[in-house]
C-alpha cells in the first residue's frame, strides 16, 4: 500500500506541474465564460426593431398577421419577466425583445413584389411576408429576406402567420375575442409520482445526462490514454524492471490509475467549479426554486457514476499499455476500449424516451454501459432501488475483476518486448500470472 501511494503521488505531481495542464485548466473556463458572455452581448446588441411589409389581399388578414408578429414578442417578454421574477435567471441576462415595425400592403401584384424585393435588397426594409389569398389557400407563404439561412427568423414568421390564420378561422366561426384568447392560453404540466414527489425539471435532467456523457467520454479519452502512454513510456525505457524489484505489478498499475486519474479529476473539478462560479448569481437567485429545478439524485449521482466509469475504463487502458510495445500498436488496440465507451452515447437518446424498456434496464446493469445508462434512468426517476443496488454491486465487482486481470496482464506484458499481443497470447499471460 505504501508503494501504491508513492507511485500515485509521483504520477500526480509530475503531470499537474506541466505547462499543458496549467494552460488547459485555465483555457477551458475562459472559453466557457466567453461562450456565455459573447452570445449574450450579441443578442443584446442585435435587439433592434425590424421593418417588415406584410402583403395581403385582405386588409383584415394583413392586420392580423402584423398583430400576431408583435404578440409573439410580447409573449417572449412576458416569459422572460416570469423567469426573472421566479429568480431562475438574472435580469441582466435577458435583453428586451424589440417590436416589429409592420407596414400593410394590399397591392398584391407582380410589379409590387418586384419593387418590394428591391427594397429588401437595398436595405430599405428588412423583409416582406407575401401572404396573399392564393398563398394562404395553398399554405405556402413566401418570406423575402436578405438572410435566407436564418432559421430563427423563418420559424418566427411561420409561427406568426400560422397563428394569425388559425385566429381568423376561429373568428369566422363566430367565436368572440375572449373565447379565442382563453383557448390559446398555455397549460403548465408538472410530472410527479404516485406519492406526490417531483423529480425536478425534465429538461435539466436531460442536460445533466448529456453533460455526464460528454465529461466522461472526454476525460476517459484524455486521461485514460495518458495512463496507457505512461505505462508505454516506462516500459520502453525499461524503468519497470527496476520498479518491479520493489513494488508488485498491481501496485504499479493501481498507482498509475490513481495518480493519472487524480490529475483528470482535479482538472474536471476545477472546470466544474469555474462553471458553477459563472452561474453563481443565477443559482443564488433561484435557490428557493432550486429543488424544483434539479433533483438531488441528479446532483449526488453524477460524481458517483463518473468515478465508477472513470476507474473502469482507466484500468482497461492501463492493460492496453502493458500489452503493447509501441504507440502504433496501442492506437490499434485501444479502439477495443473506446468502442464500448461509445455504446451508451448512442443509447442515451433511446433511454431518454424509453427508460423502462428491457434494453434500457439491461444496459443500466451491464458494467460497460451502466455508469451512463443507470445515471440516466436515475435522473428520470425510472430506476427501482433494487436495480440501482444491483447495478452498483455489479459495477464494483467488474472493476475489481478488471483490475485483477489487468494486473496479471501488466505483470507479464511490461516485460514482453518485441512480441505483438494477440488474444491467445494474452490468455497465456493471464494464466501464467
pLDDT digits (tens, 9 = 90+) for 86-136: 544 454 445 555 667 888 888 888 898 899 999 989 988 888 888 888 888
Give the pLDDT band (50/70/90) at residue 244: low
d(CA 313, CA 344): 13
Q: Which pLDDT score is estimated for 286?
A: 45
Residues of the chain with pLDDT > 70, as a percent, come to 71
Q: Which pLDDT score is estimated for 394?
A: 92
Q: Higher-confidence residue: 197 or 344? A: 344
CB contact at 8 A, 260 and 13: no
How many CB atoms neighbour CB 421 within 10 A?
Answer: 20
Residue 395: pLDDT above 80?
Answer: yes
Give the pLDDT band (50/70/90) at residue 275: low
Summarised one tens digit per residue, pLDDT across range 352-383 is 788 888 998 998 898 888 888 888 888 777 78
State the DSSP string of 4-41: HHHHHHHHHHHHHTSHHHHHHHHHHHHHHHHHHHHHHH
Q: Which pLDDT score is estimated for 46?
A: 47
State the DSSP string of 414-426: TT--S----HHHH
Q: Which of 223-232, 244-253, 359-368 has the lowest mean pLDDT?
A: 244-253
Q: Which pLDDT score is estimated for 289?
A: 47
CA dihedral sign, ordered 217, 220, 221, 223:
positive
d(CA 117, CA 130): 11
d(CA 16, CA 19): 8
Domains, in order of start, for the chain: 49-183 (3.40.190), 200-432 (no CATH)
Q: Which pLDDT score is estimated for 288?
A: 43
Query: Which among 300, 432, 287, 425 has a CA at the least distance from the CA of 375?
Result: 300
Inter-CA distances, 402 with 168, 224, 231, 234, 367, Å: 67, 15, 17, 22, 11
Q: Which pLDDT score is estimated for 345?
A: 76
Q: Which pLDDT score is estimated for 81?
A: 62
Residue 319: pLDDT above 70?
Answer: yes
Q: Which of 137-146, 174-183, 193-202, 237-246 has the lowest mean pLDDT?
A: 193-202
d(CA 195, CA 425): 56
By three-state DSSP, how is residue 41 classified?
A: helix
Q: Which pLDDT score is estimated for 279?
A: 58
Summarised one tens digit per residue, pLDDT across range 162-171 is 888 888 778 8
Query: Which among 247, 197, 222, 395 has a CA at the least distance from the CA of 312?
Result: 395
Residue 290: pLDDT above 50?
Answer: no
Max CA pair span of the chain? 93
Taking the alpha carbons at both ends of the chain, their separation in whole angstroms is 20
Q: Higher-confidence residue: 153 or 131? A: 131
Q: Which pLDDT score is estimated for 80?
A: 59
Amino acid at each position: 500500500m505504501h508503494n501504491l501511494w508513492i507511485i500515485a503521488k509521483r504520477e500526480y505531481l509530475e503531470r499537474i506541474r506541466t505547462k499543458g495542464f496549467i494552460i488547459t485548466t485555465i483555457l477551458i473556463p475562459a472559453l466557457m465564460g466567453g461562450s456565455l458572455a459573447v452570445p449574450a452581448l450579441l443578442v443584446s446588441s442585435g435587439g433592434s426593431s425590424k421593418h417588415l411589409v406584410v402583403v395581403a389581399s385582405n386588409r383584415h388578414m394583413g392586420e392580423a398577421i402584423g398583430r400576431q408578429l408583435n404578440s409573439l414578442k410580447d409573449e417572449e417578454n412576458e416569459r422572460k419577466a416570469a423567469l426573472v421574477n421566479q429568480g431562475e435567471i438574472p435580469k441582466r441576462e435577458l435583453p428586451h425583445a424589440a417590436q416589429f415595425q409592420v407596414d400593410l400592403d394590399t397591392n398584391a401584384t407582380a410589379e409590387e413584389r418586384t419593387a418590394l424585393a428591391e427594397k429588401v435588397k437595398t436595405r430599405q426594409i428588412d423583409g416582406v411576408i407575401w401572404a396573399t389569398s392564393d398563398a394562404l389557400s395553398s399554405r405556402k407563404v413566401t418570406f423575402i429576406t436578405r438572410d435566407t439561412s436564418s432559421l430563427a427568423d423563418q420559424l418566427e414568421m411561420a409561427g406568426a402567420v400560422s397563428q394569425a390564420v388559425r385566429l381568423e378561422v376561429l373568428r369566422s366561426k363566430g367565436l368572440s375575442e375572449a373565447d379565442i384568447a382563453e383557448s390559446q392560453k398555455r397549460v403548465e404540466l408538472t410530472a410527479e409520482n404516485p406519492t406526490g414527489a417531483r423529480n425536478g425539471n425534465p429538461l435539466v435532467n436531460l442536460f445533466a445526462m448529456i453533460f455526464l456523457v460528454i465529461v466522461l467520454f472526454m476525460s476517459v479519452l484524455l486521461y485514460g490514454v495518458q495512463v496507457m502512454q505512461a505505462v508505454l513510456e516506462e516500459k520502453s525505457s525499461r524503468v519497470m524492471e527496476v520498479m518491479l524489484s520493489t513494488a508488485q505489478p498491481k501496485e504499479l498499475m493501481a498507482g498509475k490509475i490513481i495518480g493519472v486519474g487524480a490529475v483528470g479529476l482535479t482538472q474536471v473539478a476545477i472546470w466544474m467549479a469555474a462553471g458553477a462560479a459563472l452561474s453563481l448569481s443565477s443559482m443564488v437567485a433561484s435557490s428557493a426554486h432550486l429543488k424544483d429545478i434539479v433533483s438531488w439524485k441528479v446532483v449526488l449521482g453524477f460524481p458517483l457514476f463518473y468515478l465508477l466509469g472513470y476507474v473502469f475504463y482507466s484500468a482497461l487502458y492501463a492493460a492496453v499499455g502493458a500489452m503493447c510495445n509501441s504507440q502504433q500498436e496501442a492506437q490499434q488496440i485501444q479502439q477495443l476500449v473506446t468502442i464500448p465507451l461509445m455504446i451508451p452515447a448512442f443509447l442515451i437518446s433511446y433511454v431518454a424516451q424509453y427508460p423502462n424498456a428491457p434494453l434500457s434496464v439491461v444496459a443500466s446493469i451491464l458494467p460497460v454501459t451502466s455508469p451512463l445508462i443507470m445515471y440516466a434512468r436515475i435522473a428520470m426517476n425510472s430506476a427501482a432501488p433494487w436495480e440501482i443496488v444491483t447495478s452498483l454491486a455489479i459495477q464494483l465487482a467488474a472493476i475489481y475483476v478488471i483490475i485483477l486481470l489487468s494486473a496479471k496482464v501488466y505483470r507479464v506484458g511490461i516485460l514482453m518486448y518485441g512480441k505483438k499481443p494477440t488474444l491467445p497470447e494474452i490468455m497465456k499471460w493471464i494464466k501464467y500470472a
